[in-house]
Amino acid sequence: MKRMAILASLAVLFITSVFGDKPTGEARYSVVAIHAHLYFHETGKTSPTDLLDGNNHALWNTITGEGEARSPSSAIMVLIDLVGPDFTHSDGKLAVKVTDSKKTLLDSVLLLDDWFSDGRKVALPVIVYGTGCSKLNITATLQGLSAEMVGTATLTRSILFECGE
């Protein structure tokens, strides 16, 4: 019995010395998902369908309301899901960049400190204008946090928009 207690104490000392005060995977800040919804400028509403849900979407001529759009759409609402140990005060930032084949449509930085939450998850929004005819690449990157505080720092997703006759 005494031997088991000694072994258990040694195990605790070993784990503490190896891992110290470093956060566990659950306690690290991470970009965990990106969601995108068509924005309909005639009604001011967004589509309930997440264009990044893993399904194929008919995004042909969305600027005129064709395909899945059913109403003209030249913008998308993007939500980036983050998890972390704390969103009550953080010095970190989220950089969001959206490009198509020709140009950058969005290059924005959101301060995590501006998005207070008692919880461990937040969804940060951005609106991307000029969408509808080209493949979009959306990249979200955590910045300004120490390496040991970050799990997944960058996530990239793509949406295939197309136009034509």
Q: Is residue 107 assigned to a domain?
A: yes
* 161 contacts 134 by C-beta, under 8 angstroms: yes
Q: Is residue 69 assigned to a domain?
A: yes
Q: Looking at residues 6-23, what average pLDDT do you find?
A: 42
Q: Is residue 52 assigned to a domain?
A: yes
Q: Is residue 147 assigned to a domain?
A: yes
Mean pLDDT of the chain: 88
Q: Is residue 9 assigned to a domain?
A: no
Q: Is residue 4 assigned to a domain?
A: no
- Band of pLDDT at residue 26, cut at 50, 70 and 90: low
- What residues contact residue 139 under an 8 Å CB cut-off, 6+ apart? 95, 96, 97, 98, 154, 155, 156
- Residue 92 belongs to domain with CATH number: 2.60.40.10
Q: Which domain holds residue 110?
A: 23-159
Give 74-116 pLDDT, tens digit per residue: 999 999 999 999 898 888 999 999 999 899 999 999 999 999 9
When divided into structural domains, the chain yields a total of 1
- Band of pLDDT at residue 23, cut at 50, 70 and 90: very low
Instruction: In whole angstroms, give the CA distance from residue 84 to residue 79.
Output: 16
Instruction: In whole angstroms, give the CA distance from residue 114 to residue 33.
Output: 20
| 3-class SS of residue 148 | helix
pLDDT at 2: 53
pTM, two decimals, is 0.83
* 38 contacts 62 by C-beta, under 8 angstroms: yes
Query: How far from 30 is each of 25, 48, 80, 90, CA to CA, in Å?
Result: 9, 25, 10, 13
Give 47-74 pLDDT, tens digit per residue: 999 999 999 999 999 999 999 999 999 9
Q: Looking at residues 137-159, what average pLDDT do you find?
A: 97
* 51 contacts 77 by C-beta, under 8 angstroms: no
Q: Is residue 148 assigned to a domain?
A: yes
> Who has greater pLDDT, 17 or 147?
147
Q: Is residue 62 assigned to a domain?
A: yes
pLDDT above 90 as % of the chain:
78
